[in-house]
Structure 1
Amino acid sequence: MTWLLAVILLPLVGAVVLAGLRRNDRLATLVALGFSVLELLLIIPLWASYRPSGDRLQQVSSMDWIPGFGIHISFGIDGIALIMIAVIALLVPIVVGTLGVTDKLPAGRSAGGFLSLILVQEAITVAVFAATDVFLFYVLFEIMLIPMYFLIGGYGGANRQYAAVKFFLYSFLGGLIMLASAIGAYSMASDELGKGTFDWATLVRVVHDAPTGTQIWLFLGFFLAFAIKAPLVPLHTWLPDAASQAPIGVAVLLVGVLDKVGTFGFLRYNLPMFPEASKTLAPLVLVLAVAGVLYGSILAAGQQDMKRFIAYVSIAHFGFIALGIFAFTQQATVGSVTYMLNHSLATGMLIVVIGMIVARGGSTRISDYGGMAKVTPILGGMLLVAGLSTLSLPGTNSFISEFLVLLGSFDSRPVYAILATVGMVLAAAYVLWLYQRIMTGPVRGDALLGAGGGPGTAIAPELGAKKAIRDLGGKEIAILAPLVVLIIGLGFYPKPILDTVTPSVQATLSAVQGGN
């Protein structure tokens, strides 16, 4: 068994164990934490065994599934998939840790049930990034909607059912359209080779040389599925609802990981399989990308709900990622791939910190807070770190990604790069404004001035606060500490990530440049 298979299967084993622990929430949380930390430890040998200068796909394994149709259960990773699998493994222990800190289970729900769905989601998402059979990828692409549907619909906010159904229908419809294109590629392979196959590497060779008109139709099927998942404007409307209704830990996975399947799909499927279509339709995609940057930034600045704020910030960031991918330069594409990682870290931390704020104030409305840093200075510092990473301040992890995207895009698409730069200015405005409204000035807002208090809380009554609000405790600091270390560490030393993804990016761009 390869390390990759172990990484896929371990969370499933944990989910089965947790399913039997529905009556002991504390034990279920400890078991889930144990399995998720062990999964993270498995990433170490997986990463160590990966050779950036080696084969494009490594840790390859395959077995027949439906041999009559050339369908296999096959997995393998490149540098792009590796970093996304690593970030999933990092975020899941943090998500488990948020249970009881930012997320409270609804009445009648058990920690075992909730956390087993989290581990199932982890396993399926890892498998999606690792799948090298296009039909298997489609199946996993659709199946990963199921645990997320139940996590939002069963454990979310007041409008959770509406948000869960909307999320499911958007993504499911996109997957069906992708299946139609996959079948078209299969038919082309059957005509060319005398037998059909869904093997990714084979389809790249076959479809790569198809006429541009054929490529465009097949490209659009995959693109629509990935543009919904990413999401790109105007296919984004499911995300604000889903992110605002999901529990904090679930929102971390939804915005930090699942959405990256869309941008990953552009790189793994659209560009190498349909190079001529990619180049022909690039101007359209770039318009959507820049529109997303500006639209997401403007709407983020106008939000009154903190969780919807994060959703629109992410829409803007996904516009940056799409811009870098379809600029077709090495610098821009490497920037996009590292942006996928760094967005997960920055946004994951921002979501958790906001969850900690909401857990104290009981409201997601920004106007219900003010001057909170005077009462909770450590929490204020954590929000500032997450915010500075979100706006790509030099010295934080996101800066190198955004810089490379804009630098590489300016070489080939200067107009789009200049327009996207406006998004950087807006990011500084909306992030700092959020921090100012919540953390600075006199203590104010219903969330802080309401009656309340309880054991273990701390308060500075001379500041005017009537509600006892405690600062971060040791457990909460431990949850955030790994993200702070990575945000600062990768801000000053991104070389390990750049070295890992660059060969895979070069291979992807070579496929595009080698089109008809």
Structure 2
Amino acid sequence: MIGISESVMQFLLALIVAGPLLGAAAALLPAPPGLKGRSPEQAVLRHGVTVTGAILIAAIVLALGFDHDQPSKMQATTDISWIPALDVRIHLGIDGISLPLLVLTALLTFLCALYSYFNLPAGPSPKAFVALLLVLEAGTLATFAVLDLLLFFLAFEMVLIPMYFLIARWGGAGRTRAAWKFILYTLLGSVVMLLGLLLIGIKAGTFDMVALATDNGRSLSTSVQVIAVLAIGIGLAVKTPMWPLHSWLPDAHTAAPTVGSVLLAGVLLKMGTYGFVRIVLPVTPDGFHTFAPYLAALAVVGIIYGSLACLALARPGAKGDLKRLIAYSSVGHMGFVLLGIASTTPTGVNGALFANIAHGLITGLLFFLVGALKDRTGTSDLDTLAEETGAALYGKAPRLGGLLAFAAVASLGLPGLAGFWGEMLALFGAFNPADGLSRPVFLTFTAIAAFGTLLTAAYLLAVVRRVCMGTAPQDGPRLTDVRAYEFAAWTPLVVLTVVAGLWPKALLGLTDPAVQQLLAGGNR
């Protein structure tokens, strides 16, 4: 990797966190005359691509300058007093756990901005759209970079308002109800989470996440840890989303515009599971150990529930919406992430972190593809696509059909693609859980989750058969195959899905030392 001084690394991380906010403010200003191009709308959309592109470049340079020999060490750290009375500090830093999520967020937001430049969803002002997209990026990036509990909460909440408006103003049918459901669920969960974070900070005497992780719960009694895990876990579980706190997700995905669905699935869901790994596991190890079997039980219920819901939506005559089906599939996939975390083993937690990245790449691609299919046919209803319009993508739009089939087999965990390793490692972690956890119970969970992988394959292959195969009607509408801007937006996701599947060490080499250090105190 390239040698970059610590001060430059600090500047890059600060730019990555603050840059999108500055870009959002600039997006609301009138465009300079020389930059308007054909119209002010085009200028602000180009501004969105430029800002997100600059943030992506900064994230890549940061990753290249990261000391890969010490991925467990916090790097590019900034620690400035902000509210002395509460001992709240602007504390930023990255390690092997947060760096991949930071780069994933920057990549997906750039691809969404690029896609929107050519295919802006119908709605109000493009200025507002670009500004909201950049505020959403800022909140998500800050969540993965901050190392103070109260700053984490602020960043965690910062994404709610822009996502609410993206759904409510640029979404499809049922968008108002879906947007309200999204914000009410997540706000209520966050209020409870804030109480847990305050409890930890007050009892431990600090809100610094690094200091709390180093202390490893020694300054917190078991009862305080149990209460804190319950409170924080509810807020994180809503965002993950964990069954049975998931019911906001299908409505939000179904109503959201394409880029909203991509960011919601690809990035926002990761904030919940990241919080479990970054805060709950190291700061409250005894409390988490108490709840681990219950978390694992809810995780495997989510795996089976999500798969059965998808099977029901995929059957002929169910009038299942493809976006809704992919949303329910996320409930199942995130169940594997939670199962890996609940095992509290390095293998399981590494699997959970790997599955996070894989899900972001693959499900982001799936939502892009379904959005493109809906743009071409006017519907994402599976029965309409399969029978009435006769999508038959292999014959009518072979590249689009091939990409949809690729994303589907990647999502079901085909070996050699990114989806395989995370779920497999999560199962291995549950197969041999940490000391003190009942192995027979976790073996049962492992068997149920493994059965869930078969259900996942069943519904995804059913979707591919119904949408991609078959004979297209002679008088049916013609479908445009993959356009140039779509190819540009989707290719990075395809390439990274293959690279992560064939070279998992690239990601595991980052996360494993950090996870080992994170769990070391918990296994004392």
Match of 2:437 in 1: none
Question: In terms of mean alpha carbon deviation, does 490-499 or 374-383 score higher?
Answer: 490-499
1:319 equivalent to 2:329? Answer no
How big is the shift at 1:474?
Answer: 1.7
Matches of 1:201 and 1:470, distance apart in 2: 52
Query: Residue in 2 aligned with 1:269?
Result: 279
* Aligned residue number for residue 372 of structure 1: 393
Shift in Å, 1:112: 2.2
Give distance in 2, aligned partners of 1:298 and 1:259.
Answer: 21
Which of 115, 136, 157 pairs up with 1:142?
157
Determine if the alignment matches structure 1 residue 9 to structure 2 residue 18.
Answer: yes
Report Cα offsets for 1:322-342 as digits up to 9, x if no partner: 000111221221111011001
Q: State the 1:17 CA deviation.
A: 2.2
Question: What is the percent sequence identity of the aligned residues?
Answer: 35
Tell me the C-alpha RMSD between the 2 structures: 1.6
Query: Does the residue aligned with 2:477 lie in a helix, a strand or coil?
Result: coil
| 1:259 counterpart SS class | helix
1:378 Cα deviation (Å)?
0.6
Alignment of 1:267-346 (within 5 A): 267-303=277-313, 304-346=320-362
Quote the offset at 1:420 in angstroms: 0.3
Selected match of 1:415 from 425, 444, 461: 444
Question: Which residue is 2:99 aligned to?
Answer: 82
For residue 231 of structure 1, the aligned residue among 230, 233, 241 is 241
CA distance in 1, matches of 2:30, 2:226: 50
**Is contact 1:101-1:356 (8 Å) kept?**
no
* Correspondence list, 1:44-443, <5 A: 44-54=60-70, 56-99=73-116, 103-106=120-123, 109-189=124-204, 196-204=205-213, 205=215, 207-303=217-313, 304-370=320-386, 371-412=392-433, 413-443=442-472
Deviations along 1:161-208, one digit per CA (max 9) or x if unpaired, are 11111111111111111111122122212xxxxxx4311123342744
**AA in 1 matched with 2:207:** F
Distance 2:494 2:209 in 1: 37
Name the CA distance, whole Å, in 1 between partners of 2:120 and 2:450.
Answer: 36
| Matches of 2:156 and 2:60, distance apart in 1 | 26
Classify the secondary structure of the residue corresponding to 1:360.
helix
Equivalent residue for 1:475, pick from 485, 505, 509: 485
Q: Return 70-79 or 359-368, whichever deviates more.
A: 70-79
Paired letter, 2:12:
W
Q: Tell me the equivalent position of 1:502.
A: 512
Cα distance in 1 for residues equivalent to 2:361 and 2:114: 16
**Partner deviation per Cα, 1:361-412 (whole Å, 9 max, x = no partner):** 0011011113232111010001011111101101111111122111222123
- Per-residue deviation, 1:21: 5.0
Q: Which runs of 5+ in 2 are unaligned?
A: 1-9, 32-38, 314-319, 387-391, 434-441
> Is the partner of 2:97 in helix, strand or coil?
helix
Cα separation, 1, equivalents of 2:52 and 2:208 = 31
* Shift, 1:9, TM fit: 1.8
TM-score, normalization: structure 1?
Answer: 0.91
SS across alignment from 2:380:
coil
Superposed displacement of residue 44, structure 1 = 2.1
* Rounded Cα–Cα distance in structure 1 between residues aligned with 2:73 and 2:243: 32
**By how many angstroms is 1:52 displaced?**
4.1
The alpha carbon displacement at 1:424 in A equals 0.7
Residue 176 of structure 1 aligns to which amino acid in structure 2? V
Distance 2:202 2:329 in 1: 40
User: Does the 8 A contact of 1:255 with 1:344 survive in 2?
Assistant: yes
Distance 2:100 2:216 in 1: 28
Corresponding letter in the other structure for 2:55: E
Question: Do the aligned partners of residues 101 and 308 (structure 1) sit closer, same or farther apart at CA in structure 2, a change above 3 Å counting?
Answer: farther
1:73 Cα offset (Å) = 1.6
- In the alignment, what sits opposite 1:40? 56
Structure 1 CA distance, aligned partners of 2:250 and 2:218?
A: 36
* Shift, 1:351, TM fit: 0.4
Q: In structure 2, do the counterparts of structure 1 residues 208 and 312 end up closer, same or farther at CA, with 3 Å as the change threshold? A: farther
Look up the SS of the partner of 1:3 in the other structure: helix
- Is the CA contact 2:49–2:114 (under 8 Å) kept in the aligned structure 1? yes
Q: Is the 8 A contact 2:396 2:478 kept in 1?
A: no
Q: In 2 relative to 1, CA 161–511 (structure 1 residues): closer, same or farther, beyond 3 Å?
A: farther
Which of structure 1's runs of 4+ aligned residues deviate more than 6 A?
A: none
Residue identity in the other structure for 1:386: A
Instruction: Tell me, yes or no, if the aligned pair for 2:303 and 2:335 is still in contact at 8 Å.
Output: yes
For 2:81 and 2:305, the matched residues in 1 are separated by 46
- Length, aligned pairs only: 487
- The alpha-carbon deviation at position 243 of structure 1 amounts to 0.8
Moved more, 260-269 or 404-413: 404-413
Distance 2:49 2:257 in 1: 18
1:2 partner SS: helix
* Residue 209 of structure 1, CA deviation: 4.3
Q: Distance in 1 between matches of 2:207 and 2:129?
A: 34
Structure 1: 5+ residue stretches without partners: 190-195, 444-462
Whole-Å Cα distance in 1 between the matches of residues 134 and 117 of structure 2? 17
In 1, Cα distance between equivalents of 2:191 and 2:338: 22
Secondary structure in 1 matching 2:514: helix
2: CA distance, partners of 1:119 / 1:465: 44
SS of the equivalent of 2:432 reads helix
SS in 1 for 2:244: coil
Residue pair 1:178, 1:221 contacting (<8 A) in 2 also: yes
AA in 2 matched with 1:357? L
**CA separation in 2, counterparts of 1:52 and 1:506?**
15
